[in-house]
């Protein structure tokens, strides 16, 4: 069957319809080169993994050298995906055959969940992901190339910016994998265009020479200085591996010589105080990043690593403070001195003073003092009151509003005993008439998938109380995409939100192509785990035009605004 598929692909390649990539790096500088290259979105083409044959032997996620032999991680470019016109929020009698997009109000990008990983940190949880029954949040082979893939995503944004200007960009959280200082600095420094050393501890060079392995330093391009970018706080930025608050033992583990010894915090009632398994580290001296020192304590030789103070974990205030140490704009990337003084990662901003649109950045993480390892998002009274205050002001001032948070709305209070407010009560507050008809979207990451759902108005007489929920996939796990958003004013008192997935450019032989191949292989190996099922196969992408009804007051306010769209 695979032979037939590959023969078909060969014919399509011969006709110029598809391009196939394989995981190899043959250049002295494996970053790839975008100069003179056209950048495509998933409207133009999609990344399609080859179907995986039945393996004669099991291949484990860390056995990278076996991937190509067994056809794991192979992919090709397939046809693009059209925009799906979504009328979910419109009255049943609505007909839009004559609607035209008259002016562009806003254009921005959102990326999320890159999980930049210090793979040599003794405080990671690699052991939990080393079998086919594990999951990629603990270990994935493409973690070797997390910094290089983020650089490719930023360079792709820059190329798109030259074709159509972005008003701003936003990261929806989980910049880090393990709330570490060096992981966060890699993120900020890549956006700032600094020189990046993705290694930690002693300098390693598994393949002698510069620019040819995952440990080599590289020059990040940096986000175009014309594009301001903003930051959301994620659970992996907040707590140990995104799963548990840092106690004294975990804090010491980050900068220790000893590989972390811990039990299953999800099932063991002792939580972070449990013991029983060495989590392991990547041996950065090896070509494929061999995992060493992982396994049950009874059968595993305890290993030492070279400690590195830059692996230290960060509190929320320390994490926010790092965004003031930047050369890109704006200083603080949304955070202000008030955020540091109040130790709260919520703020709002208005990207363009000529356009009445407000972005409300919400920290919807659980706080350490109310944390439950089985729970998800949470709002305490302080953050709930802040959110309602920002919505009240935005509505009174006649501004369109977007809530940007790491977790989607439906995870607020999920599985949390006696939450201050859960998603149902929060939604009721948002939509009880008069509600917030100027709220157009809640955008989020966290679940590593591209999903667009809707919260319809509970009152058919007021369809404007409905809003869109847009989730964006991870830059770590396949499909490794970010989104662009374009908000247009229409000629019929509606707005259209065009949201398009983008695959970062991964030229053949580049580290980005290698990362993509490894991410696909991981998804193929981890299929038995429901956590890693691919949403919207085979590409994982989804493009849409989302229509939203406006109030008469808002229609009047924006009727002459925006950049006219050429017919």
Distance in angstroms (rounded) separating the CA atoms of residues 435 and 425: 13
Q: Give yes or no for a contact between 483 and 472, defined as CB atoms under 8 angstroms apart.
A: yes
Distance in angstroms (rounded) separating the CA atoms of residues 145 and 214: 6
Indicate the domain borders of the chain. 2-482+496-564
Q: Give yes or no for a contact between 285 and 159, defined as CB atoms under 8 angstroms apart.
A: no
Q: Give me the chain's average pLDDT, please.
A: 90
Predicted confidence band of residue 161 (pLDDT cuts 50, 70, 90): very high
Residue carrying the six token digits 């030259």: 162
Average pLDDT score over residue span 345-360? 98
Average pLDDT score over residue span 473-501? 96
Residue 567 pLDDT exceeds 80 = no
Residue 501 pLDDT exceeds 80 = yes
Q: Which of 23-32, 343-352, 554-563 has the lowest mean pLDDT?
A: 23-32
Residue 3 CB: number of other CB atoms within 10 A? 8
- The whole-number pLDDT of residue 9 equals 46
Residue 67 pLDDT exceeds 60 = yes
Residues, the chain, total?
567
- The whole-number pLDDT of residue 339 equals 98
| Helices and strands in the chain, H and E counts | 11, 22
Task: Give Cα separations from 432 to 386, 408, 426, 460, 506 (angstroms).
Answer: 18, 20, 10, 12, 46
Q: Give yes or no for a contact between 193 and 220, defined as CB atoms under 8 angstroms apart.
A: yes
Strands 467-471 and 439-444, how do they pair?
parallel
Segments in 280-380 forming alpha helices (H)? 316-321, 337-342
Q: Give yes or no for a contact between 281 and 122, defined as CB atoms under 8 angstroms apart.
A: yes
Higher pLDDT, 18 or 309: 309
Q: Give yes or no for a contact between 409 and 423, defined as CB atoms under 8 angstroms apart.
A: yes
Strands 75-79 and 467-471, how do they pair?
unpaired
Distance in angstroms (rounded) separating the CA atoms of residues 364 and 405: 6
Q: What is the pLDDT of residues 431-448, one digit of tens each?
A: 998 999 999 999 999 999
3-state secondary structure of 279: strand
CATH architecture label of 2-482+496-564: 4-Layer Sandwich (3.60)
Residue carrying the six token digits 């998002």: 377
Distance in angstroms (rounded) separating the CA atoms of residues 457 and 436: 11
Q: Give yes or no for a contact between 77 and 506, defined as CB atoms under 8 angstroms apart.
A: no
Partners of 564 in the β-ladder: 103
What tokens does 272 get? 């972070």
Average pLDDT score over residue span 98-127? 96
Residue 7 pLDDT exceeds 60 = no
> What order do you get walking across the sheet with 261-262 strand by strand?
261-262, 277-282, 291-296
Distance in angstroms (rounded) separating the CA atoms of residues 229 and 548: 26
Residue 49 pLDDT exceeds 80 = yes
Q: What is the pLDDT of residues 321-352, one digit of tens each?
A: 999 999 999 999 999 999 999 999 999 999 99
Residue 2 pLDDT exceeds 60 = no
Average pLDDT score over residue span 283-308? 97
Angle among Cα 80, 84, 89 to the nearest 5 degrees reads: 160
Distance in angstroms (rounded) separating the CA atoms of residues 370 and 420: 10
Q: What is the pLDDT of residues 440-469, one digit of tens each?
A: 999 999 999 999 999 999 998 889 999 999
Residue 371 pLDDT exceeds 80 = no
512: Cβ contacts below 8 Å, ≥ 6 apart: 31, 32, 145, 148, 149, 152, 504, 505, 506
Distance in angstroms (rounded) separating the CA atoms of residues 314 and 374: 22
Chain centroid offset of residue 218 CA: 22
Predicted confidence band of residue 135 (pLDDT cuts 50, 70, 90): confident
Residue 297 pLDDT exceeds 50 = yes
- The whole-number pLDDT of residue 370 equals 64
Higher pLDDT, 445 or 418: 445
Residue 24 CB: number of other CB atoms within 10 A? 13
Q: Which of 54-68, 507-521, 523-537 has the lowest mean pLDDT?
A: 523-537
CB environment 180-203: b (16+ within 10 A), e (fewer): bbbbbbbbbbbbbbbebbbbbbee
Q: Give yes or no for a contact between 306 and 293, defined as CB atoms under 8 angstroms apart.
A: no
Q: Give yes or no for a contact between 45 and 80, defined as CB atoms under 8 angstroms apart.
A: yes
């Amino acid at each position: 069957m695979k032979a037939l598929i590959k023969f078909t692909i060969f014919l399509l390649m011969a006709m110029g319809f598809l391009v196939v990539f394989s995981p190899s790096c043959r250049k002295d500088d494996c970053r790839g080169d975008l100069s003179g290259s056209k950048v495509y979105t998933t409207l133009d083409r999609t990344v399609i993994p080859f179907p995986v044959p039945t393996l004669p032997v099991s291949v484990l996620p860390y056995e990278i050298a076996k991937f190509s032999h067994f056809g794991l991680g192979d992919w090709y470019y397939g046809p693009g995906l059209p925009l799906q016109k979504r009328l979910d929020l419109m009255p049943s009698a609505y007909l839009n055959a004559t609607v035209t997009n008259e002016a562009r109000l806003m254009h921005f990008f959102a990326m999320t969940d890159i999980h930049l990983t210090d793979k040599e940190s003794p405080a990671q949880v690699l052991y939990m992901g080393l079998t086919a029954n594990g999951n990629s949040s603990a270990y994935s082979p493409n973690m070797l190339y997390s910094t290089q893939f983020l650089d490719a995503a930023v360079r792709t944004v820059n190329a798109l910016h030259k074709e159509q200007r972005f008003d701003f960009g936003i990261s929806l959280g989980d910049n880090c994998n393990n709330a570490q200082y060096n992981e966060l600095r890699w993120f900020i420094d890549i956006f700032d265009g600094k020189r990046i050393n993705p290694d930690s501890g002693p300098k390693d060079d598994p393949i002698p020479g510069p620019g040819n392995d995952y440990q080599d330093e590289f020059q990040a391009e940096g986000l175009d200085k014309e594009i301001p970018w903003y930051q959301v706080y994620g659970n992996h930025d907040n707590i140990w591996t995104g799963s548990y608050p840092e106690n004294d033992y975990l804090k010491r583990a980050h900068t220790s010589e000893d590989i972390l010894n811990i039990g299953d915090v999800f099932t063991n009632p002792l939580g972070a105080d449990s013991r029983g398994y060495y989590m392991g580290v990547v041996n950065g001296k090896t070509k494929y990043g061999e995992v060493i020192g992982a396994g049950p304590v009874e059968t595993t030789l305890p290993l030492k690593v070279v400690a590195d103070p830059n692996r230290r974990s960060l509190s929320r205030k320390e994490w926010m403070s790092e965004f003031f140490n930047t050369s890109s704009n704006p200083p603080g990337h949304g955070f202000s001195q008030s955020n540091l003084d109040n130790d709260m990662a919520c703020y709002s901003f208005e990207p363009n003073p000529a356009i009445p649109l407000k972005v409300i950045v919400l920290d919807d993480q659980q706080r350490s003092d109310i944390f439950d390892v089985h729970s998800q998002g949470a709002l305490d009274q302080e953050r709930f009151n802040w959110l309602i205050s920002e919505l009240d002001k935005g509505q009174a001032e006649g501004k369109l509003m977007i809530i940007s948070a790491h977790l989607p709305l439906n995870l607020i209070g999920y599985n949390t005993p006696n939450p201050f407010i859960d998603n149902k009560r929060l939604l009721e507050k948002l939509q009880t008439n008069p509600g917030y008809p100027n709220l157009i979207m809640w955008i989020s990451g966290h679940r590593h998938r591209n999903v667009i759902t809707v919260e319809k108005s509970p009152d058919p007489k007021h369809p404007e109380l409905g809003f869109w929920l847009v989730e964006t996939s991870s830059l770590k796990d396949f499909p490794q995409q970010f989104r662009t958003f374009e908000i247009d004013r229409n000629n019929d008192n509606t707005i259209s939100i065009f949201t398009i997935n983008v695959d970062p450019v991964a030229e053949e032989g580049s580290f980005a192509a290698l990362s993509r191949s490894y991410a696909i292989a991981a998804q193929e190996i981890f299929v038995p785990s429901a956590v890693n099922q691919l949403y919207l196969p085979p590409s994982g992408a989804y493009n849409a035009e989302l229509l939203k009804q406006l109030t008469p007051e808002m229609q009047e306010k924006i009727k002459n605004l925006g950049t006219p769209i050429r017919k």
